[in-house]
């Protein structure tokens, strides 16, 4: 499976996250952008990733698997791949059988290589203070798949210093060959030197062993756990988790420094919950392809309706100023890995072969992804059989086994009747529209659904002119998936993304030293917003502004809609795109707080690509006490 950049109709705004790589020189194959809903089957978390001799190695925490009982895994499984598509599992590479002091838990493994030996660092026993048995251990092997044996027969770090819990360790080797270990939970982070043997601690020039490097605390998404460090263009990047690991507040932040020991200055949110896609993403690893130089983030997430964590990865990029472009949790699958991990089936016989998702002819079968999209752009290759019809379902809720046992919409290709159709189900079927089209059985067609509010458009092969356009507002949001009715079918190249995205990690400027903040920070969530977060500009003068980078997917006309929070201290803004003003001045004053979506302007773009959307403070209402702007999201609706 691979990910295609989810750039259509969106503002890249979900923050992205970075992490450490310690790699043995080698030439890994060019990698895909994404591995689908999850890249290995089963429940895992906290992935570290390394490259050894051209092979990618992933070290995750092993959660309790289906059919197992109890909590707190006492073993580690690791995974390897030469192409980031096909993964080999190595089970139980380290466990209580070869770690004598391991009592009840083992988690957050991380790898390193030096002088022909492979090292695996791990946290065990969850100690709460000095004198307890547990902390950070180290094991060693002659090959990356193990077997690993305890390198020192005791914890490497078993004390609490500077308030940092001895866990969530990660090794970074600098350009001069010095190895460092960053670690810490409970809101504090330390760094220690590793000696050349990689299994003992060195000292700093002042004679101390433990140096505190917790990123500067602002009271807003401060460091909690899971540090990772890597270096790029002379800059040290420290990524870390904030929030609560067990809920949707869990996210990844990043900070930067010119020194390996800091101070690390927070730069913002890099990855967080997306209410359309997944919950609580974080505790990540980072790898750079030695062939393409592309960067990838490995992390865990929870599906929206599950408490279990699974492993995923996505590609990310840097801006020219060395800041990081937001990473989105993609929903895409091309089934190249031969599995349908992440899909839930309702009826029918489903298999994956030849890089396609296959289903035999049946009275009605569905396979769904655990998502919750409202405004959605959903694409797939569909190969219908000679009978019945096959296609895509979206905004689905209450699914069950049976042809129409769900609530939602379905667009299908009907070969016998030479038509494309769309309708809705609610334990029965209601046709909305059909259109004539020439179809051949067992032939691949590219189908795209664009659902914006009540407007639904269906495209087949020709992505510029819809075959069907209807208006229906019965179902607002829900899952996406594939479906057949009395037909065999094949599906491939699934790509799903929203046209409505949050706005974070923005370029913010103000003439008088003004500041910006984000809605929904902390452990609480503001469900009025498009995922719990937005950006506020605390302005106090005309010409203060905030800018957003928006990716425009096609050269065409769009309605630009902006989600805002109105209030008594709100100002007025004028939208400009690449320096040209559009639409009327918008007034955000209101006597009470309320959330609205403004139709700001209609803009015809002559080219696709990144555009600079600037919201310039134009003044304030006579009743307003201030000039503030509170912006939640930008949405492009094609005309």
pLDDT tens, position by position, 408-458 = 999 999 999 999 999 999 999 999 999 999 999 999 999 999 998 899 999
Query: Which pLDDT score, from 0 to 100, does residue 24 have?
Result: 37
Determine which of 107-111, 211-215, 374-378 has the lowest per-residue pLDDT on average: 374-378
Q: Tell me the β-bridge partners of 271.
A: 252
Which pLDDT belongs to residue 23?
Answer: 36
pLDDT-derived band of residue 11, with 50, 70 and 90 as boundaries?
very low
- Is 500-638 in the same CATH topology as 44-329? no
The reported pTM is 0.82
Q: Which residue has the higher pLDDT, 177 or 527?
A: 177
Q: Residue 247 has what pLDDT?
A: 87
Give per-residue pLDDT as tens, 23-62: 333 334 444 555 568 999 999 999 999 999 999 999 999 9
| pLDDT tops 80 at residue 548 | no
Three-state DSSP class for 61? strand
pLDDT band at 71 (very low <50, low <70, confident <90, very high): low
Q: How confident is the model at residue 509 (pLDDT cuts 50, 70, 90)?
A: low
Res 284 pLDDT > 70: yes
* Least confident stretch, 320-334, 504-518, 528-542, 550-564: 504-518
275-279, 296-300, 587-591: which has the minimum mean pLDDT?
275-279
Other C-beta atoms within 10 Å of 518: how many?
22
To which residue do tokens 């800041």 refer? Answer: 323
Respond yes or no on whether the N-terminal peptide bond of residue 147 is cis (omega within 30° of 0). yes
Strand 507-509 and strand 350-353: pairing? unpaired
Using 50, 70 and 90 to split pLDDT, how confident is the model at 406?
Answer: very high
Tell me the backbone φ, ψ of residue 69, rounded to 5 degrees. Answer: -120, 160
Please, what CATH class does the domain formed by 500-638 belong to?
Answer: mainly beta
Predicted local distance difference test score (pLDDT) of residue 324: 79
Whether 259 has a pLDDT exceeding 90, the answer reads: yes
C-alpha 66/C-alpha 128 separation (Å) is: 30
User: Quick check: 525 and 248 in contact, CB under 8 A?
Assistant: yes
Q: 3-state SS string over 320-355?
A: CCCCECCCCCCEEECCCCCCCCCEEEECCCEEEECC
Work out the average pLDDT over 176-181: 98
Q: Which CATH number is correct for 343-498, 3.40.50.620, 3.40.50.720, 3.40.50.300, 2.60.120.560?
A: 2.60.120.560
**381 within 8 A of 392, measured Cβ to Cβ:** no
Residue 327 contacts residue 272 (beta carbons within 8 Å): no
Report the distance separating Cα 426 and Cα 423, nearest Å: 10
**174, 227, 277, 193: which is closest to 46 by C-alpha?**
227
Phi-psi region of 541 (alpha: psi -120 to 50; beta: other; left: phi over 0): beta
Q: Decide: 444 and 383 in contact? Cβ < 8 Å.
A: yes
Q: Comparing 150-154, 183-187, 370-374, 450-454, which segment has the lowest mean pLDDT? A: 450-454
Q: Which fold has domain 44-329?
A: Tachylectin-2; Chain A (2.115.10)
Spatial CA neighbour of 47 closest among 138, 105, 96, 110:
110
| Residue 184 or residue 533, greater confidence | 184
Active site members: 46, 225
pLDDT at 394 over 70: yes
Q: Give the pLDDT score at 588.
A: 95
pLDDT confidence bin for 368, thresholds 50/70/90: very high
Helix (H) or strand (E) holding 564: strand 557-566
Rounded Cα distance between 599 and 245, Å, is 37
597-614 pLDDT, tens digit each = 899 999 999 998 788 889
> What is the largest distance, in Å, between two alpha-carbon atoms of the chain?
82
Average pLDDT over residues 323-336: 85
Instruction: Report residue 344 as tokens.
Output: 């839930």
262: pLDDT confidence band, cut at 50, 70 and 90?
very high
Least confident of 122-131, 188-197, 523-532, 573-582: 523-532
% of the chain at pLDDT higher than 70:
88
Domain locations in the chain as residue ranges: 44-329, 343-498, 500-638
On whether the CB atoms of residues 481 and 396 are closer than 8 A, the answer is yes
Contact 552, 558 (CB under 8 A): yes
Judged against a pLDDT cut of 60, whether residue 517 lies above it is answered with: no
What rounded mean pLDDT belongs to the chain? 87
Residue 5, pLDDT above cutoff 60: no
């Amino acid at each position: 499976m691979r990910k295609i950049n989810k750039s259509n109709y969106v503002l890249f705004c979900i923050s992205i996250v970075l992490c450490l790589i310690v790699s043995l020189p080698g030439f890994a194959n060019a990698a895909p952008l994404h591995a689908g809903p999850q890249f290995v089957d089963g429940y895992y978390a906290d992935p570290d990733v390394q490259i050894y001799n051209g092979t990618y190695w992933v070290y995750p925490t092993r959660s309790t698997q289906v059919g197992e009982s109890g909590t707190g895994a006492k073993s580690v499984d690791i995974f390897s791949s030469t192409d980031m598509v096909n993964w080999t599992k190595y089970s139980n590479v380290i466990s209580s059988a070869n770690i004598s002091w391991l009592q009840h838990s083992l988690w957050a493994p991380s790898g390193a290589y030096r002088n022909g030996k492979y090292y695996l660092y791990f946290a065990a026993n969850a100690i709460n203070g000095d004198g307890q048995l547990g902390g950070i251990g180290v094991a060693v092997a002659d090959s990356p798949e193990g077997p690993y044996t305890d390198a020192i027969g005791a914890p490497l770090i078993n004390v609490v210093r500077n308030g940092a819990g001895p866990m969530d360790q990660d090794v970074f080797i600098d350009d001069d060959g010095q190895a460092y270990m960053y670690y810490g939970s409970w809101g504090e982070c330390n760094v220690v030197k590793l000696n050349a043997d990689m299994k003992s601690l060195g000292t700093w020039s002042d004679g101390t062993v433990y140096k505190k490097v917790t990123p500067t605390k602002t009271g807003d998404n401060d460091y909690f756990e899971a540090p990772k460090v890597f270096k790029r263009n002379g800059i040290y990047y420290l990524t870390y988790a904030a929030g609560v690991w067990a809920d949707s507040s869990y996210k990844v932040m990043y900070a930067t420094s010119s020194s390996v020991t800091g101070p690390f200055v927070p730069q913002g949110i890099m990855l967080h919950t997306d209410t359309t896609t997944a919950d609580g993403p974080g505790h990540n690893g980072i790898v750079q392809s030695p062939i393409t130089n592309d960067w990838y983030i490995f992390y865990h997430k929870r599906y929206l309706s599950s408490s279990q964590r699974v492993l995923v990865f996505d590609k990310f990029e840097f801006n020219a100023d060395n800041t990081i472009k937001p990473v989105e949790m993609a929903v895409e699958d091309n089934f190249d890995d031969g599995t349908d991990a992440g899909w839930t089936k309702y009826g029918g016989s489903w298999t994956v072969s030849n890089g396609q998702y296959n289903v035999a002819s049946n009275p009605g079968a569905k396979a769904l992804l655990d998502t919750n999209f409202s405004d959605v752009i959903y694409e797939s290759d569909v190969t219908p059989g000679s009978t019945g019809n096959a296609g895509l379902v979206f905004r689905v809720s209450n699914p069950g086994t049976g042809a129409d046992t769900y609530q939602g919409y379905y667009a299908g290709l009907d070969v016998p009747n030479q038509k494309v159709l769309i309708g809705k189900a609610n334990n029965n079927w209601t046709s909305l529209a059909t259109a004539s089209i020439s179809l051949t059985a067992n032939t691949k067609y590219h189908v795209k659904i664009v659902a914006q509010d009540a407007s639904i458009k269906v495209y087949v092969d020709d992505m510029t002119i819809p075959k069907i356009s209807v208006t229906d507002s019965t179902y607002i949001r829900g899952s996406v998936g594939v479906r057949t009715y009395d037909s065999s079918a094949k599906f491939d190249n699934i790509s799903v993304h929203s046209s409505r995205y949050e706005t974070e990690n923005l370029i913010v400027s103000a003439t008088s030293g003004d500041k910006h903040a984000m809605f929904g920070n902390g452990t609480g969530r503001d469900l009025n917003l498009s995922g719990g977060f937005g950006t506020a500009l605390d302005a106090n003068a005309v010409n203060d502004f905030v800018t957003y980078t928006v990716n425009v997917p096609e050269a065409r006309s769009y309605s630009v809609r902006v989600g805002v929070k109105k209030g008594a201290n709100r100002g007025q803004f004028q939208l400009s795109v690449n320096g040209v003003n559009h639409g009327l001045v918008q007034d955000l004053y209101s006597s009470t707080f309320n959330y609205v979506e403004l139709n700001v302007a209609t803009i015809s773009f002559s080219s696709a690509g990144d555009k600079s959307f600037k919201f310039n403070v134009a003044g304030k209402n006579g009743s307003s006490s201030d000039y503030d702007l509170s912006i939640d999201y930008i949405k492009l609706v094609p005309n």
